[in-house]
Chain A
Amino acid sequence: MREFLLESPLTPEFLTFLKSFGTVKEYPHMKRPYFSFEQEYFITLKGFIGDPGVEVRYRKEFFDLTSDYFHLLLFYAKQGESGIHKMQEITDSIREKMNVRLPPQGRV
C-alpha cells in the first residue's frame, strides 16, 4: 500500500476515465466526496474528489507489473478518448503477463 500526494486534486473526469478499467464506487454525499476503484489483480484506489491524497494498493505477486499503473492512469486520463485506447493496450499487455502466472481457471 502506498499513499500519494498528487500535484493537483483528483477530478470527476479522472473517475470517468477509471470506469473504463474497473469498478468505481462513488459516495458523493460523504463529508468529502469519496470514491474507490478496483481493478482485480491490478490496483485498488481510495480517495476524495477534490483532494490530492490517494491510497493505492497493489497485489504483491503482480507488483512488478503494476507498480507504475496508477501513474499511467493519471497520465493517459489527460488525453481523453485516445488515452483510454492507449491505456487499454497497456492493460491488455500487463494482463497477458499476469495470465502466464495465473492458473488456467484464474486467468483474467
Chain B
Amino acid sequence: MGNEPDNPPLIYLNNAATTWPKPLSVLDEVTRCMKAPFFEAGRSTAGAATDYPSETRRALAGLFHAEHPDHFIFTQNATDSLNLLIHGFVKKQKASFHAITTDLEHNSILRPLNALAGEGRLSLTTVPSEDGYATLREIKKAVRPETRLIVMTHGSNVLGTLQNIQTVADYCARNDIFLIVDGAQTAGQVPINLSSLSSGAFVFTGHKALFGISGIGGFYLNDPEAIAPVRQGGTGTDSRSLVQPDEMPQRFEAGTHSYPGIASLLAGIRFIEREGQDRITTKGRDLAALFIREIANDPNIILYTPSPDLPVISFNIRNLDNDDAGYILAKAYNIITRAGLHCAPLVHDRIDGGKGSIRISFSYLNTPEECRAAGEAVRGVAEGANH
C-alpha cells in the first residue's frame, strides 16, 4: 500500500526505537569497514586498517567527556549492557541487598531486576514518578540501610522527560550506592558529561540518536571493580591464561566485536560532532514543540507530556485504540509511529490505565514539514474517530 502512486511519501517517526534514515556517512563507513580485511591487534595480522574499537572508544570519550576511553565497553545494545551491569553487580555482592528503580523504566531494567528479586538475590522498590519525573525526594524515601543499587533511566522512552541524574548521582556517591543510568534515549540526543557522574555506570545504545546500526551498544564504567564480569572468552590478549584478563576493556569484552556496528557508531559520533550536539538537541526540542502545537488544542487528543525534554511524544485519541490509530497512520497516511506499551508497562499504568499510547519520536533528520504533516494526520484520525 505504501508504494501506491497516490500515497504520500513515507514519514518515519519511530526514532525512539531506531533512528532512520541513517546519515550517508554512516552507511559509507559500514561499507568501508566491510570491504577492508578484518583487523584488530592480537586477532588479525592485517595492517593498515582502522582499529575501529580503539578509535570509537576515544570518540565516545570525547562526545561524553569521559576520562578513560578504555572504560567504554561494547555490547549488543542497551538491554545487553543493563543485563551485564545488573547481573554483574549482583554477582559482586556477598549477600542479598536492596535495589531501587522507578516506574518510568523500560523492561530492559524491570525484567532483570524482577528476575533477580524472584530468585531472592535482591529486594526491589519501584518508586513512583511525578508528572514524568523520578525525584530524589521519592528515591530517598525508598532508601534503606541495605540499599546498594539504583537503576534508572536518563530519559523516558514514553514521555520524553529528562531525569535530573546529577542530583541522584551525587546522592549515590555520598551514600555508597551504585547508580546505573540508562541513556538509551539520551546518548546523542542531549549533551552528556560523564566526568560529573563520579560513580556508577552509564548505558547507551548505538542504533538510536547515535545514528549507528542495530547490534551495537555499550556502557561506561568508572570503577571496573564494582561489577563482576559475567562473560568470559577470547580477548586476543594474554591467551595462555585460562582466566579472563582484569584490564579494561578486556575484563568485560569476550569474543569478536561487531565491527560494522562499531564502525557505524564511530561515523554516527563524527556526524554528531560535525552537526553539533547543541544544535541536535535544540532541533529535537523544536520539532517536539511544533508537533505539540499542531495537536494540543484538539479535544479528541489526549497528550501525556505537554512539554517533553526529548523529541518523544505520547498521546491517545478518544474512541480509538492506539493500535488502530497506528495502523491508520501507517496505511492511510504513510506515517510510521509506534503504538502500545513501548516496553515500559509501569508508566502506562499511571498515564493511560495500562492501555498504551501512540508514540511519535523525531530524529535530527526529520523536518518541520514532516512534523506539520504528522500533526495534520493525527488531527484527521482524531476527527475520523469522533465524527
Which of A29, A36, A46, A48 is B387 in contact with, Cβ under 8 Å?
A: A29
Q: How far in angstroms is the closest Cβ of chain B from A9?
A: 12
The 0/1 profile, CB within 8 Å of A marked 1, for residues 368-387 of chain B is 00000000000011011101
Complex: chain B residue closest to A30, CB-CB: B384
Measured between beta carbons, the chain B residues less than 8 angstroms from A55 are 327
The answer for the CA separation of A34 and B380 in the assembled complex, in Å, is 13
User: Which residues of chain A are within 8 angstroms of B327 by Cβ–Cβ distance?
Assistant: 34, 36, 46, 55
- Determine the distance from Cα of A31 to Cα of B334 in the docked complex, in whole angstroms: 12
Which residues does chain B contribute within 8 Å of A25, judged by CB atoms?
324
Across chains A and B, the number of contacting residue pairs, with CB separation under 8 Å, is 41
Q: Which of A93-108 contact B (CB under 8 A)?
A: none
Could you tell me the distance in whole angstroms from the C-beta of A46 to the nearest C-beta in chain B?
5
* Interface hits, A41-61 → B, CB 8 Å: 46, 48, 51, 53, 55
Q: Which residue of A lies closest to B380 (CB)?
A: A31
For A35, give the chain B residue with the smallest CB separation. Answer: B324
Q: Please determine whether B324 and A36 come into contact, CB atoms closer than 8 angstroms.
A: yes
Whether A51 contacts B1 by the Cβ 8 Å rule is yes
B331 located at the interface, meaning its Cβ lies under 8 Å from any Cβ of chain A in the complex: yes
Describe B's contact surface by its main secondary structure. Answer: helix
Chain A count of residues within 8 A CB distance of the other chain: 14
In the assembled complex, the CB of B358 is this many whole angstroms from the nearest CB of chain A, namely 15
Give CA–CA (A28, B384) in the complex, Å: 7
Binary contact track B306-337/A, C-beta < 8 Å → 1, others 0: 00000000000000110010011001110000
Are A30 and B381 closer than 8 Å at their CB atoms?
Answer: yes
* A75 interface residue (CB < 8 Å to B): no
Asked if residues B324 and A34 are in contact (CB atoms below 8 Å), the reply is yes
B332 and A32 form a contact (CB under 8 A): yes
Q: Which residues of A contact B324 (CB under 8 A)?
A: 25, 27, 34, 36, 46
Question: Number of contact residues on B: which range applies?
Answer: 10 to 19
Residue of A nearest to B377 (CB): A31
Cross-chain contact A30 with B328 (CB below 8 angstroms): yes
Q: Do B332 and A30 have beta carbons less than 8 Å apart?
A: yes
- Taking a contact as CB atoms under 8 Å apart, the answer to whether B384 and A31 are in contact is yes
CB distance from B301 to the nearest CB of A (A): 15
Assess the A27–B332 pair: CB atoms within 8 A: no
Q: A7 → chain B, closest Cβ, in Å?
A: 15
Cβ-defined contact, A34 with B1, below 8 A: no
Complex contacts, B332 vs chain A, CB 8 Å: 30-32, 34, 48
Q: What is the CA–CA distance of A44 and B333 in the complex, to the nearest angstrom?
A: 22
Please give me the residue from chain B that is nearest to A53 by CB atom.
Answer: B1
User: Binary interface profile of B, 326-357, with partner A (CB < 8 Å = 1, else 0)?
Assistant: 01100111000000000000000000000000
B333 touches A31 (CB 8 A): yes
Residues in B whose Cβ lies below 8 Å from that of A53: 1, 331
Distance from A91 Cβ to chain B, minimum over Cβ atoms (Å): 24
Q: Kindly report which residue of chain B lies nearest to residue A31, judged by CB atoms.
A: B332
Contacts of B385 in A (CB 8 A): 27, 30
Contacts of B381 in A (CB 8 A): 30-31
- Complex CA gap A54/B194 in Å reads 49
B329: nearest chain-A partner, CB-CB: A31
Min CB–CB distance A97 → chain B (angstroms): 27
CA distance A29 to B381 in the complex (A): 9
Name which of A29, A30, A51 has the most chain B CB atoms within 10 A of its CB: A30
Judging by beta carbons under 8 Å apart, are A29 and B331 in contact?
no
Assess the B1–A29 pair: CB atoms within 8 A: no
Interface residues, chain A, with chain B CB atoms under 8 Å away: 25, 27-32, 34, 36, 46, 48, 51, 53, 55
Q: Which B residues are closer than 8 A to A by beta carbons?
A: 1, 320-321, 324, 327-328, 331-333, 380-381, 383-385, 387
Extra contacts, 14 of them, besides A32-B331, A34-B384, A36-B321 (Cβ < 8 A), are A27-B320, A27-B328, A27-B385, A29-B383, A29-B384, A29-B387, A30-B328, A30-B380, A30-B384, A30-B385, A31-B332, A32-B328, A46-B324, A55-B327
A-B pairs with beta carbons under 8 Å apart, 9 shown: A28-B387, A29-B384, A31-B332, A31-B380, A32-B328, A32-B332, A34-B327, A53-B1, A53-B331
